[in-house]
Structure 1
Amino acid sequence: MNGKIPHIVQYQGSKRKLAPQILQYMPERFDRLIEPFSGMAAISIATAMEHRAGSYVINDLNKTLVEILKEAIENPAQLVTDYRTVWNEQFSYGENHVEHFYVVRDRFNCGQKKPANLLYLIARCVKGAVRYGGNGNFNQSPDKRRHGTNPDTLEQNVCAISKLLKGKTSFFSLDYHDIFEMAQPGDLVYMDPPYQGVTNVRDNRYFSGVPFDEFAEAINILNSKKVDYLISYDGICGGKEYGEDLPESLGCKKIMLNAGLSSQALLLGKKSTTYEALYVSESLIPLFYSLPKQLCFMEVMA
């Protein structure tokens, strides 16, 4: 992959660093990339950099997150202007700039769901880890050591992303089953659902959970429609496995990708490498056998 993949903001769980490995299992060209659990759409951005797809579908249950992406792609100047206004506000608080984070968080939770407000909260919160409480309110704390992404840096990135995806992308905030129904042969569906290692039922990055059995059954929709897909779903860290394998009946192949040293382990003074699973649908499996074997840590038929 040539060049650095632009990103809007640090976002925990983003597949930006793994994107070069994931894209190796995609066809060189296909009609449309669909992301039912888009997050910050790192895979759509990386795929667009390589001009692999003709169009893109970005979907996430977090409606304001999708609105950030839509504005970044369709109207980047407005997003940067609005974000710059919110970002600059913190300096009027002097040494109490952390207080500003809570002001914006209350503003957002009380109904001002503007993309710039959420973008600022993500940019300033601890480790870019988006967290919501049971009532749906954003409840993550600020990183007291920094002020968040500089608007000038944001501007460079969103302008680059806009050039890649503007006029080619559709935006939704629907249940993933509805997105599956849109898929057609010639599309590629990339899925990064709530991580099994966090919880099998609810992940507070999302407004509702994705139960394992329900998700596995839903994959049959894509199989029946002969739609190709890739799924990032479980993993291994420090020898400990997170999540259970998808059923063998789906006919896909499980490949473990090296995601590097675990940041959480490093905080605890340990060095543990994380391996994340990528499930490859049946018709894409030949791509695996065409790759140099050192690219993969391990492989298992799933």
Structure 2
Amino acid sequence: MNGKVPHIVQYQGSKRILAPQILEYMPDRIDRLIEPFAGMAAISIAVAHDDRANSFHINDLNAPLVNLLKEAINAPDQLISAYSKVWEEQFKYGDNHVQHFYDVRERFNNGENTPANMLYLLARCVKGAVRYGKNGNFNQSPDKRRHGTNPKTLKSNVSAISQLLKGKTTFTALDYREIFEMARPGDLVYMDPPYQGVSNVRDNRYFAGVPFDEFVEAIEILNRKGVDYLISYDGECGGKEYGEELPASLGCKKVLLNAGVSSQSVLLGKKSTTFEALYISEKLIPVFEHKPKQITLWEAMA
């Protein structure tokens, strides 16, 4: 991958940093890359930057997020113009600029969930973390130390992303199982599903996660159709495993990617490395037999 890969804003859970490692397990040429749980579409952007796919399908149940990506890619100047107006409003509040965030959040929750408002909330909220309450309202707090990303900074990145993906990308806000039904041989489906929640209670943005058994059953759809896929799912940090491992019956190969030193462990004075698991569908495995042996979970814990 040559040059710096552009991104719009910091987004918690994004695979932007891991993207170079994930791309190592993709074919050199892909007909269509599908992201059913796209978030800010970091993998689609990285694949487009590497010029590996003919087309892209970006999907996420969070419709305002998908609409933001759609406008960033198809109408970047329009998005930056609208975002600039929202961003500049906060300076009219003087020292009470934090209140501006809450005002925009209230407007967003009352129906003004425009791409510009979504972008401002992402750019200004704590750790770029999208949080929704049980009523479906965006409820994350602002980062009080900063004003969010300057429109001038955003413009270059958004323009670069538009150049990579415009005219090649389909956008939807559907349940991931509907996306699986659309997939066909020749596609590559990259999945980074939400946290493996144990509760079946969730709003339409997966805030409580995707049930494990439901997800495993859905992957069988791709196996039956002969569609290749990669899944970021579980892992370990400091000798502690998190997330339930996908069953061997799926026929996947599991490798561990080095996600770097955990920021939480640094705060605790431990400096533990986080390893995130990547599952490779059975038909893709022979493509990577020439690659150096990946470390096992037990070797990572040693």
TM-score by length of 1: 0.94
Deviation at 1:208, TM superposition (A): 6.0
Paired position in structure 2 for 1:74 = 74
Alignment of 1:75-154 (within 5 A): 75-154=75-154
Provide structure 1 residue ranges, at least 5 long, that are not aligned to the other structure.
none
* Distance of aligned partners of 1:22 and 1:71 in 2 relative to their CA distance in 1, 3 Å threshold: same
Contact 2:33 2:188 in 1 (8 A): yes
Paired position in structure 2 for 1:13 = 13
Contact 1:33 1:189 in 2 (8 A): yes
* Distance of aligned partners of 1:152 and 1:203 in 2 relative to their CA distance in 1, 3 Å threshold: farther
Q: Describe the SS at the equivalent of 1:278.
A: strand
- Counterparts of 1:123 and 1:32 in 2: how far apart (Å)? 30
- Counterparts of 2:295 and 2:98 in 1: how far apart (Å)? 42
Letter in 2 for 1:259: A
Deviation at 1:263, TM superposition (A): 2.1
**Does 222-231 or 260-269 show the bigger shift?**
260-269
- Structure 1 vs Structure 2 CA RMSD: 1.5
Provide structure 2 residue ranges, at least 5 long, that are not aligned to the other structure.
none
- Counterparts of 1:24 and 1:284 in 2: how far apart (Å)? 12
The answer to whether the aligner puts 1:258 opposite 2:258 as a matched pair is yes
Identical counterparts, % of pairs: 73
Contact 2:195 2:209 in 1 (8 A): no
Contact 1:195 1:234 in 2 (8 A): no
Paired position in structure 2 for 1:23 = 23
- Counterparts of 1:250 and 1:188 in 2: how far apart (Å)? 16
The answer to whether the aligner puts 1:289 opposite 2:289 as a matched pair is yes
Q: Describe the SS at the equivalent of 2:97.
A: helix
Paired position in structure 2 for 1:194 = 194
Deviation at 1:299, TM superposition (A): 6.0
Contact 1:258 1:275 in 2 (8 A): yes
Alignment of 1:41-80 (within 5 A): 41-80=41-80
- Counterparts of 2:276 and 2:220 in 1: how far apart (Å)? 22
**Does 199-208 or 92-101 show the bigger shift?**
199-208
Alignment of 1:167-186 (within 5 A): 167-186=167-186
- Counterparts of 1:282 and 1:212 in 2: how far apart (Å)? 20
Q: Describe the SS at the equivalent of 1:32.
A: strand
- Counterparts of 1:140 and 1:109 in 2: how far apart (Å)? 12
Structure 1 moving runs of 4+ over 4 Å:
202-205
Q: Describe the SS at the equivalent of 1:275.
A: strand
Contact 1:38 1:59 in 2 (8 A): yes
The answer to whether the aligner puts 1:211 opposite 2:187 as a matched pair is no
Contact 2:30 2:187 in 1 (8 A): yes
Paired position in structure 2 for 1:276 = 276
Contact 2:235 2:276 in 1 (8 A): yes
Letter in 1 for 2:296: M
- Counterparts of 1:75 and 1:66 in 2: how far apart (Å)? 13
- Counterparts of 1:195 and 1:32 in 2: how far apart (Å)? 26
Cα deviation per residue 1:81-127 (whole Å; 9 max; x = unaligned)? 01111111111111111111101111111111101111111111111
Cα deviation per residue 1:56-75 (whole Å; 9 max; x = unaligned)? 00000000000000000000
Contact 1:254 1:299 in 2 (8 A): no
Q: What number of residue pairs does the alignment pair up? A: 296
Cα deviation per residue 1:274-298 (whole Å; 9 max; x = unaligned)? 11110000011123322223xx432
Deviation at 1:50, TM superposition (A): 1.1
Deviation at 1:195, TM superposition (A): 2.3
Contact 2:195 2:210 in 1 (8 A): no
- Counterparts of 1:67 and 1:48 in 2: how far apart (Å)? 19
Q: Describe the SS at the equivalent of 2:275.
A: strand
Deviation at 1:265, TM superposition (A): 2.6
Contact 2:195 2:208 in 1 (8 A): no
* Distance of aligned partners of 1:156 and 1:203 in 2 relative to their CA distance in 1, 3 Å threshold: farther
